[in-house]
Amino acid sequence: MRSGAMSCRPSPMKSTNRWSKTMPEPVVKTIDVPCDQATAFRIFTQNMDAWWPKDRHSISAKTGDTARSVSMEPRAGGVVTEIGHDGTHHHWGSVREYEPNARLSLLWHINLPAEQATLVDIAFEPQETGTRVTLRHHGWEAMGDAAQTMRDGYESGWVGVFETAFAEACRAEAA
């Protein structure tokens, strides 16, 4: 971990079927965006509500509604929260590691108990014409028998959220 980085490490996760079968591979998505590292990092962490597709990828969306907001407290130990269409607060996860402009790691458990958290790691690397952003979603063993189904859902879900919505927000900022 870099000097000055903060960490909030989780306790070991429990899973009844952890070693009973092969766990699914991580979901990995990589995009190149036309803005610098600091801008891409800020958009992801501090402007989440502006780019997250709340009408399609939220707890509220499951009932046909649009969440009021989605936010992340940009610090180790911070929380990721949805405020639902009805004002209900939904805890999606927490910030495990926070290295400004370089990387962050999230414990991710939307609508699930914290014991079933998976990990979402996002790295921001400088490129000649912008920033390469890589999202790696792993730790499926926490899901037990539902691991493959959950992984498959996130494989397609991150396309709309990360590869499309986040990338568009970065392009708009650079324009």
Provide the CATH number for the domain around residue 166.
3.30.530.20
Establish if 103 belongs to a structural domain: yes
DSSP 117: -
95 or 11: which carries more pLDDT confidence? Answer: 95
Structure tokens at 121: 């790691």
> In this structure, which amino acid lies at residue 94?
S
CA–CA gap between residue 49 and residue 70 (Å, rounded): 5
Cβ proximity of 170 and 59 under 8 Å:
no
pLDDT 10s digits, 31-64? 999 999 999 999 999 999 999 999 999 999 999 9
Cβ proximity of 31 and 159 under 8 Å:
no
Domain count, the chain: 1
Question: With 60 as the cut, is the pLDDT of residue 7 above it?
Answer: no
Establish if 149 belongs to a structural domain: yes
Cβ proximity of 93 and 109 under 8 Å:
yes
| pLDDT for the residue numbered 23 | 86
Helix, strand or coil, per DSSP, at residue 113: coil
Establish if 64 belongs to a structural domain: no
**What is the DSSP pairing of strand 130-138 with strand 69-72?**
unpaired
Establish if 68 belongs to a structural domain: no
Question: With 50 as the cut, is the pLDDT of residue 143 above it?
Answer: yes
Average pLDDT along the chain: 91
Torsion angles phi and psi, residue 159, rounded to 5: -60, -50
Establish if 65 belongs to a structural domain: no
Establish if 156 belongs to a structural domain: yes
Which segments of the chain does DSSP mark as H helices, in order?
A: 37-46, 48-51, 147-158, 167-174
pLDDT 10s digits, 98-124? 999 999 999 999 989 999 999 999 999
Which segments of 1-159 does DSSP mark as H helices, in order?
A: 37-46, 48-51, 147-158
Establish if 17 belongs to a structural domain: no
Q: At what angle do helices 167-174 and 37-46 cross, to 10 degrees?
A: 130
Domain span including residue 119: 23-54+92-174
What lies within 8 Å, CB to CB, of 64 at 6+ separation is none
> Percent of the chain scored above 90 by pLDDT?
85
Question: SS3 sequence, 2-23?
Answer: CCCCEECCCCCCCCCCCCCCCC
Helix, strand or coil, per DSSP, at residue 138: strand
Establish if 3 belongs to a structural domain: no
